[in-house]
Structure 1
Amino acid sequence: METSDAEKIQNLKTVVIYSTLGVGTATGLFLLGRHFYKKSQANRSEKHSLEEGDPATYAKQLKMAFDNDNYLSWGTDEEAITKVFQELPSKRMFERVQKEYFRMYSRSLNADLEEELSSEEYNNLIRLLNAKK
């Protein structure tokens, strides 16, 4: 008994539908797992952000300076950012802060610095950083 063309088409449609559902489910599970992994990494970094001298602490201080929106002032707290850069012991520590910042906020620290600061303020921070070993 041969299968008709209509049955072949119906079988093909069924295979395509189930394959699409399978790929969609796998993609969704991957993205969900990735979300929870990133969230756990951020939580782990957040726990260290209260320890003085930890890269997560510096990252959190910078983020708080960017988000300095309160009833007295709006915008970025440039003085707080400069203070963090002055406290950084080395260029290596800044690299670690960049990694922690990305881990905690899923954003590039350099991009946020460029966005939040004028070019003169940004260049002054880079000079501060270049003066460190």
Structure 2
Amino acid sequence: MSVPAIAYKAGQLAWQNRPRISISSQVTSTILAVGAAAGVFLGVRAVVKNFKQGIRENQALTEGNPAAFATQLKMAFENDNYFGWGTDEEAVFAVLETIPTSSVMNKVQRAYRDLYGRNLAADLKEELSSEEFATALQIINSKP
């Protein structure tokens, strides 16, 4: 036999005689349990989120409710004006001025997050220019 054939045969024997790695049934059960728990967690979280969003949508129909203010702000962000898409800044300021107190403003922020899954302050900063955002913050911070 030639040298390469002997080396090949030795390599083949070494491969067949390698130590086998086996996963015990406990590890397999643990991995499956963790996967199932993660699936249940994500499923329950989605159901709770949809439930909260449904409640907020029903509350948005009541005038003066924080969810109604949140809906009005979102509608002002998604305004279609004559010259194209853009934010209706006057409507944003009008809604912010009609919010009576800082505690109601906090509820509006929570309702906005529940309805749209986004942060109201981040959307204000994104939709408004720097001067308009500063004006919006002044309106928000002037609440009793």
Specify if TM > 0.5: yes
Per the alignment, residue 120 of structure 1 pairs with 131
Per the alignment, residue 143 of structure 2 pairs with 132
Q: TM-score, normalised by structure 1?
A: 0.84
**Structure whose CA Rg is larger:** 2
**Percent of residue pairs identical:** 44
What displacement does 1:28 show?
1.0
Count the aligned residue pairs: 126
What displacement does 1:11 show?
5.5
Separation of aligned partners in 1, 2:93 and 2:57? 22
What displacement does 1:87 show?
0.9
Separation of aligned partners in 1, 2:34 and 2:72? 41
**What root-mean-square deviation, in Å, do the aligned CA atoms of Structure 1 and Structure 2 show?**
2.0
Per the alignment, residue 92 of structure 1 pairs with 103
* Moved >4 Å (runs of 4+): 69-72
Structure 1: runs of 5 or more not aligned = none
Q: 1:39-80: per-residue Cα shift (whole Å, max 9, x none)?
A: 100110110101110000000111111222477630222121
The equivalent position to 1:68 in structure 2, one of 50, 67, 79, is 79
The equivalent position to 2:31 in structure 1, one of 17, 20, 23, is 20
Q: TM-score, normalised by structure 2?
A: 0.78
Separation of aligned partners in 2, 1:128 and 1:30? 40
Give 2:90's aligned amino acid.
E
